[in-house]
């Protein structure tokens, strides 16, 4: 499975938050490992996270803050 196809597993079903629940965090770590192994950069993963949020968050008012929060968590796990 491609790391891009793993992204949806890294988010909560209801709240769409990245790696908040322990099982989502484990999925995120696996996705990050797969992304790194395929040569993807942090910027590549960020783009996919933003795209996922854009597709799944309905409120324009919440979208920017939600994306910022998810990218912050990604950067914590990516290093």
d(CA 1, CA 18): 19
d(CA 55, CA 53): 5
Non-local (6+) Cβ contacts of 70 within 8 A are 11, 17, 18, 49, 53
Q: In which band, very low, low, confident or very high, does the pLDDT at 65 lie, cut at 50, 70 and 90?
A: confident
pTM: 0.83
- Whether 8 shows a pLDDT value over 70: the answer reads yes
d(CA 66, CA 59): 10
Q: In which band, very low, low, confident or very high, does the pLDDT at 61 lie, cut at 50, 70 and 90?
A: low
Lowest mean pLDDT: which of 22-26, 62-66, 71-75?
62-66
Q: Are 69 and 57 in contact (CB under 8 A)?
A: no
CA 52 to chain centre: 7
């Amino acid at each position: 499975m491609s790391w891009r196809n793993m992204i949806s597993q890294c988010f909560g079903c209801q709240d769409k938050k990245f790696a908040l629940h322990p099982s989502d965090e484990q999925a995120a770590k696996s996705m990050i490992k797969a992304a790194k192994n395929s040569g993807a950069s942090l910027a590549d993963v960020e783009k996919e996270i933003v795209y996922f949020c854009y597709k799944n968050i309905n409120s324009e008012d919440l979208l920017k803050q939600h994306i910022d929060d998810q990218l912050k968590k990604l950067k914590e796990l990516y290093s």
